[in-house]
Chains A and B, each alone.
Chain A
Amino acid sequence: MDFDLTDEQDLLRDVTREALTRAYDIETLLKVAATELGWSRDVWSQLAEIGILGLGFDPEEAGQIEMMVVLTELGRRLAPEPVAQAALIPGGVIAELGDDEQRGLLDAVSDGTTLLALAHQEPDMRGTATRVTTRAERHGDSWTVTGRKNPVLAGDCADVFVVSAALPDSSSQSDGVGLFLVTADSVQRRAFRTFDGQRAAQLDLDSAPARPLGSGGDATASLQRALIRHQSALCAEAVGAMEEALRLTTEYLTSRRQFGVPLSNFQALTQRAADMYVSLELARSMNFYAAMSIADGNLDPVIAARAKLQISRSGRHIAQEAIQLHGGIGVTAEYPVGHYAARLTAINQTLGSADDQLRTLIGALGSYTTVTL
């Protein structure tokens, strides 16, 4: 049992943190968020240069712990670049399932020139469900997919989509789901902003030409693994956001003066900051747990649900208290803490809320005596 990062992982964290600190302060963030793309191509290129956009594509190379390290830094700076959504998660699926030609796409992904998106979420779908209503149809050697995907994170800018679709031979009771590559020019997309300032899109696929990933067939297990990896990435990002939200709050409590004294003189406030810290530590632990399990080859939806449940609880607690302990400045757009709260809230609603995680967990409650690692 060991919770220490390697020197290489430490270095990756430091380099990422330095690049993002240089790239973003709150003014720059707001400026970039107001552009149509919502993030910066320059920063994207820098991330590509560091080697971040191809993490985990090579099965021989490191993956989930590095992804955790990087996503925590993105969360800390509130960087809007869709590293997980547009590169690592859909790229990981292509790396796992794709044939040689399809895996050839990944070079352009890791050098930052091609953007991907996983188009899986559908209306009326919650949590990390894998069943979809989008249909795949076979026409001789070629395939098409038909259906609606919404919301597709980073779907506004993706060049290529990894689309989940029910296979034609799967009965309505079965989960037979295939994964297909669909290019952006064959979908109808409606791009929009999300409440945390990020971007997404709705895709309408109407007999869109689709290429099955690899040899095709049921890809439910791969899809589930991708969702679990994404869940872990979100947890890591949330931990970075929580750390910074708490840092901003403690800084504010020591610098802001009311009644002639710093706010930190009031135990009504410092006691609550202490509780935020406890929430943060529990979230850090579960974030480690999720990423370490995946790194050990254990991609377990129950572990993902456990981690996300704690991250949701801690994220909501820290976000709400960070705003409240700041007072009015906490709800202004010009000050960062409210934006952290927005991002943490959006993360809670991505791949399942706390209640969705609880639904996963209560199903198995009676099947074991005590919870173990």
Chain B
Amino acid sequence: MDRRFTVKLAFSDGEAAFRDEMRDFFTTQIPADIRRRARDGELRYPDDVVTAQRIMNERGVAVPNWPTEWGGKDWSPLQRQIWSDEMRLACVPEPLAFNASMVGPVIARFGSQSLKERFLPPTANLDIWWCQGFSEPEAGSDLASIRTTAVRDGDSYVVNGQKTWTTLGQYADWIFLLARTDPNAPKRQAGISFLLAEMSTPGITLRPIKLIDGGYEVNEVFFEDVRIPAEQLVGEENSGWTYAKFLLSNERTGIARIGTTKVWLAQVKQRAASTPTGRGSLLDDPLFAARVAETENEILALELTQLRVSRSETDGKPNPASSILKLKGSQLQQAVTELSVDVAGPDSLPVGAGDDVGSPTWAQLAGPKYLNYRKTSIYGGTNEVQRNIIAATILGL
């Protein structure tokens, strides 16, 4: 190696030691049965997520992206990337995104001291399970068109309206929501506020939305004359749009989910290698192997891109490059679930048939999972929205 090169692919000794420390922690301290269930798509909600997050929080690594005084770590972007990658490679359920990546950072950045003291410790420890009240039936990609209203009445806001796509809301203790506090604001973005509400508040009802995989993970949430104490307003009234933008651009170390996609592709390879075709295994078949190799290569290219992007991360400022990670990362997750259902073949047809039929459990889960993962190019800003961001902010179009 030439000392004059600063371009270096290898980890430094310090970076390698950090990786080993994280790997050791995730593979020895998070119970193996939880990691197995996460790997095989059989995670038990909410218990497995809560258990894993509390172990991480005890070690001080549940919310590394938060300010240090609230449990964050003074890590470099690369260290955060390593933390995320090792967690995913070890099949550890990640800290609940609504807590760790969304409402936590918003409260830490914009909330009052009393809100921080009240909410941040239980949010880090998942003593409070948060859900997100952003999307509405008429406000999907066009989030600023929300219609839910919050009208100040004494010490409360009275909230009326409907939220939708509220992921894992059935386990939630609290919801953070956007509501219109000034219907006459000159710009519709200017009249929105960011509120916190306990799910047990009278007037809040939850209705499950069943998805095409037969599963239940998202909900509609209805607000009917719900009284929310004014002290549960985050930051200033009518500034909610700013906080929402901060929230949506805040987290990108995990957005591409590369470690998880790698684990799934390893499963695809392993299963293809033990799937006979009449001429060797499916993995020996050039047609199938080429698809695997192509996908694997793109995963590697995205991993390198993520390393390049994460190095240039600056706190609080959204980097439009994160749109690339979301766009390509979602496509690769979908490509791998597609490969998985193609490996399963006819064994993917039975579903929930138990282990006394010839089709293995993983194969019975492959079809629903493939269908379920069509969501990744839709949630968190559709891929079309990501392309618009890239075109506007990077290409100047």
Task: Give A residues with C-beta under 8 Å from B.
Answer: 1-6, 8-9, 62-63, 65, 246, 250, 253-254, 264, 267, 270-271, 273-275, 277-278, 281-286, 288-289, 291-293, 295-297, 306, 309-310, 358-359, 361-362, 365-366, 369-371, 373
Contacts and interface: CB of A to CB of B under 8 A. Distances in A.
Chain A binding surface, main DSSP class: helix
Given A1-B307, A358-B293, A65 B5 contact: yes
Contact of A358 (B263, B294, B308, B396): B294
A296 B89 contact: no
Nearest to B303: A373
B290 A62 contact: no
Interface string B374-395: 0000000000101110111011
A293 B9 contact: yes
A295 B394 contact: no
Contacts, number: 156
Contact of A1 (B15, B324, B328): B15
Given A277-B390, A286-B304, A366-B273, A371 B262 contact: yes
B75 interface: no
A270 B391 contact: yes
B357 interface: no
A275 B395 contact: no
Nearest to A306: B297
A286 to B, nearest CB: 5
A365 B289 contact: yes
A358 B290 contact: yes
A267 B384 CA distance: 9
A8 B4 contact: yes
B327 A1 contact: no
A250 to B, nearest CB: 5
B395 A273 contact: yes
Chain B interface size band reads 35 or more
A60 to B, nearest CB: 8
Nearest to B305: A285
28 contacts: A3-B7, A5-B6, A8-B4, A254-B397, A264-B391, A267-B384, A270-B395, A273-B395, A274-B391, A277-B395, A278-B324, A281-B305, A282-B301, A282-B302, A282-B305, A282-B328, A288-B308, A289-B300, A306-B300, A309-B297, A310-B297, A310-B298, A361-B296, A362-B286, A362-B293, A366-B269, A370-B265, A371-B300
B231 to A, nearest CB: 43
Given A278-B327, A281-B305, A365-B293, A370 B266 contact: yes
A312 to B, nearest CB: 11
A287 B384 CA distance: 27
Nearest to B323: A274
A264 B301 contact: no
B190 to A, nearest CB: 26
Given A273-B395, A278-B327, A1 B8 contact: yes
B260 to A, nearest CB: 11
B283 interface: yes
Given A274-B387, A365-B293, A292 B283 contact: no
Nearest to A250: B395
B124 interface: no
A2 B303 contact: no
Nearest to B307: A1
Contacts of B397: 250, 253-254, 264, 270, 273
A310 B304 CA distance: 12
A90 B55 CA distance: 58
A339 to B, nearest CB: 22
B299 interface: yes
Given A253-B397, A274-B391, 6 more contacts: A3-B311, A6-B4, A295-B7, A310-B298, A361-B296, A371-B296
A34 B263 CA distance: 53
A3 B307 CA distance: 9
B78 interface: yes
Contacts of A275: 387
A250 B396 contact: yes
A275 B394 CA distance: 12
Nearest to B306: A285
A271 B8 contact: no
B92 interface: no
B2 interface: yes
A62 B293 contact: no
Interface in B1-54: 1-2, 4-12, 15
Nearest to B11: A1
Contacts of B12: 1
B308 to A, nearest CB: 5
B234 interface: no
B6 A282 contact: no
B292 interface: yes
Contacts of B292: 362, 365
Contacts of B297: 306, 309-310, 361, 371
B339 to A, nearest CB: 12
Nearest to A6: B6
A267 B392 CA distance: 11
Contacts of A270: 387-388, 391-392, 395, 397
Interface in B279-326: 283, 286, 289-290, 292-294, 296-305, 307-308, 311, 321, 324
Contacts of B301: 282-283, 285-286, 310
A306 B15 CA distance: 25
B305 A1 contact: no
Contact of B384 (A1, A271, A277): A271
A264 B10 CA distance: 41
A89 B279 CA distance: 42
Interface in B41-91: 78, 89
A285 B1 contact: no
**Residue among B7, B12, B269 with the highest chain A CB neighbour number at 10 A:** B7
Interface string B85-129: 000010000000000000000000000000000000000000000
B300 to A, nearest CB: 5
Contacts of B395: 246, 250, 270, 273-274, 277
Contacts of A271: 384, 387-388, 391
Nearest to B387: A274
Interface string B259-282: 000110110011001000000000
A286 B78 CA distance: 18
A57 B158 CA distance: 76
B245 to A, nearest CB: 20
B304 A289 contact: yes
A241 to B, nearest CB: 17
B259 to A, nearest CB: 9
